[in-house]
Amino acid sequence: MRPRPSLSLGAPEIRVKPNPTFIADNKLSSMGLGLTLDAFNDGLRVAEITVEGERLDLTIKGPTDHIRSTQSIEDLPIATTDGRIIPTSSLADIEITRGPSEIRHKEQLRTITLQINPPTTMALETAMEKIQLFVINELRNEGVPNTVKLELSGTADKLTETWDEMVLDLLIALVIVYLVMAVLFESFLYPLIIIFSVPLAAAGA
């Protein structure tokens, strides 16, 4: 079994989690806090202007000497609506951690793939049953919430799609056969008797 991307942690990152109570007490918003931090970090693009026929980005950027280390983020000044200046640490919880080495998305959702190669002697249906029983069900039992989607993909997903298509094709074929027999026998009852008697006759044989 191989996870893709790797489960090993990548580069260090800083997570700023706004405290709703402290932000509301100071009549600010989480979005405003984020925009202010962006201005001190890479700069905040606020508009596009034209100077001598050339389009330029108008960016608000804080003094570069405010951030000299990861700990400096706690002391970044935030202006309140009443003119006070308070540090970022008064409005949010700041955590220094390590982020994933790579983030993949599928249909705008973050995903991680566990690539499993069953033995060549094992049937695909058997492998799917074992994965459902010993991987997916176990993850649910360990507390993985229902908001996290766990599903099979790749060859297993194609097999499921093939079975679904076969069932649909079989139903369509039965409907066509029934309609043809109904026209031939000029009855809606006799075709039903024949269709349901064929499986019973095959089982008895």
How many CA atoms does the CB half-sphere of 184 hold within 13 Å? 10
Q: Does the predicted model carry a pTM greater than 0.75?
A: no
Angstrom distance (rounded) from CA 32 to CA 196: 69
Angstrom distance (rounded) from CA 111 to CA 5: 9
- Tens place of pLDDT for every residue, the chain, 205 residues? 555 555 555 667 788 899 999 999 988 999 988 888 888 887 888 888 888 888 888 888 877 666 666 667 888 888 888 889 998 888 999 887 776 666 777 777 777 777 778 788 888 778 888 888 888 888 888 888 878 887 777 776 677 777 778 888 888 988 998 899 888 888 888 888 888 887 776 666 5
Angstrom distance (rounded) from CA 141 to CA 105: 25
Helices (H) and strands (E) in the chain, counts: 6, 10
Angstrom distance (rounded) from CA 155 to CA 170: 22
Supply the pLDDT for residue 2: 54
Supply the pLDDT for residue 62: 77
Cis peptide before 77 (omega within 30 of 0): no
